Amino acid sequence: MSFKLPKLLYSYQDFEPYIDRKTMDIHYNKHHATYTNNLNEAILNTKITNFSIEKILKIAHTESSVIRNNSGGFYNHNLFWEILIPHIKYTHPSTSFDKIIQKNFNSFDLFKKSFSQTAISHFGSGWIWLCVKKDKLEICSTNNQDNPIMYGMGCEGFPILGLDVWEHAYYLQYQNRRLDYISSFWKIVNWKKVEENYIEAINK
């Protein structure tokens, strides 16, 4: 199996002023493309050549750091692009999904506060996740390109929303102001897609 860089459903400038065009271009065409190419090279002619990305992630702890880092980088960015939207139509959860968030976090605002605090407190590069674990929603973080599908993360589950807090995701525009980047993130989340991910997770 050869993994492919996914086609974006929007243009690089569509997220301005929240994420600038240059950052989007570099993030997608340099960083994500490199993870994709490196993953394909690392698994070529190995026993995992034809594995799905989810299966590779589940055994990544038994493979080389090259496979672990690049499989995570490929999957994480795929999810990240999918849960962003440049239009305001779906930037708040539906009534039904809002009730699910309230059930787990008491309110949507408290969920955002907890997620944002986890993101601002995360030391160094990594990702912040909203995961489905059994029938519950949990917030957690992972270092580097790790994610909750991988073994031993301490937040095992199915990720339905992820925020990239590597500096390459925001530094050109926000420099060290990670909190400003996090605040902008909430304005471009595609909650319709997040809800679809939730439904997929609970039906697994």
Q: Where are the domains of the chain?
A: 20-204
How far lies 33's CA from each of 24, 78, 106, 139, in Å?
Answer: 12, 11, 39, 27
Q: Is the pLDDT of residue 90 over 90?
A: no
CA–CA dist 104, 17 (Å, integer):
31
Confidence of residue 136 (pLDDT cuts 50, 70, 90): very high
Residue given tokens 């309230």 in the structure block: 102
Angle between helices 191-202 and 95-105 (to 10 degrees): 70
Q: 143-193, pLDDT tens digit by residue? A: 999 999 999 998 889 999 999 999 999 999 999 999 999 999 999 999 999
**8 A C-beta contact, residue 188 and residue 85:** yes
Question: Residue 2 carries which DSSP code?
Answer: -
pLDDT at 1: 65
Report the pLDDT averaged over residues 66-95. 93
Q: 17-75, pLDDT tens digit by residue? A: 999 999 999 999 999 999 999 999 999 999 999 999 999 999 999 999 999 999 999 99
Structure-block tokens of residue 15: 């997220």
Q: Is the pLDDT of residue 10 over 70?
A: yes
pLDDT at 96: 97
CATH topology of domain 20-204: minor pseudopilin epsh fold (3.55.40)
Q: 101-127, pLDDT tens digit by residue? A: 999 999 999 999 999 999 999 999 999
Report the pLDDT averaged over residues 78-89. 92
**pTM (predicted TM-score):** 0.96
